[in-house]
A = this chain, B = another copy of it.
């Protein structure tokens, strides 16, 4: 029986862009487990009421219901300990939590400031009012204002926000070392989020992060690279 993943979708139900759902999708692929995804919208909160909370990703794996991408990754690592490891042991797991915390608090908020208006454009019309209201309250300005000067801010984002990723990838092929780990999926999912909803390019052409991103797009038979992206406006 496949794992069921409730996965944030756009107006186009095939468009799956949530960076947190992508972490889970890639973790399930890493574990080489079958998955069935269910398109979910912000207005579908009731449909995941069984999980005791209102956000995706949520997985149902037989009798197990797990929410929160980090908790799901820990669940998969323990429940499928004979499958390829996501963390390479307990300390690898604890260290990966730092990468997770950095992506949640630094990388994804910075990407959000570049693409949040593009996200709003592709989500289901029933979600748009909620999304705009909640995000504008968070940013303290309109979505148009948030993204207006992204062309100016991108240089600083590339130079400073991405620098830890760049330093690591200059020294080793993957964040996980010689092969990808959950740390790679955490960071890549931010790029995949942007790719799915926006044609705004996060990386300069000569950025060494680009080669890694390309390898990530090609993994698992092109799982991320062949995923639908929003049509250019």
Contact = CB atoms under 8 A, between A and B. Distances in A.
A42 to B, nearest CB: 24
A14 to B, nearest CB: 33
B181 A95 contact: yes
Give the interface centre of A91, A104, A166, A172 by most chain B CB atoms within 10 Å.
Answer: A91
Assembly stoichiometry (copies): 2
Contact of A177 (B90, B101, B164, B167): B90
B177 A94 contact: yes
Contact of A101 (B85, B95, B168): B168
A25 to B, nearest CB: 21
Given A92-B92, A98-B102, 14 more contacts: A88-B94, A91-B92, A94-B172, A94-B175, A95-B95, A95-B176, A98-B99, A98-B165, A98-B175, A101-B163, A105-B160, A105-B163, A105-B167, A106-B163
Interface of A: 85, 87-99, 101-102, 104-106, 160, 163-168, 171-172, 174-177, 181, 183
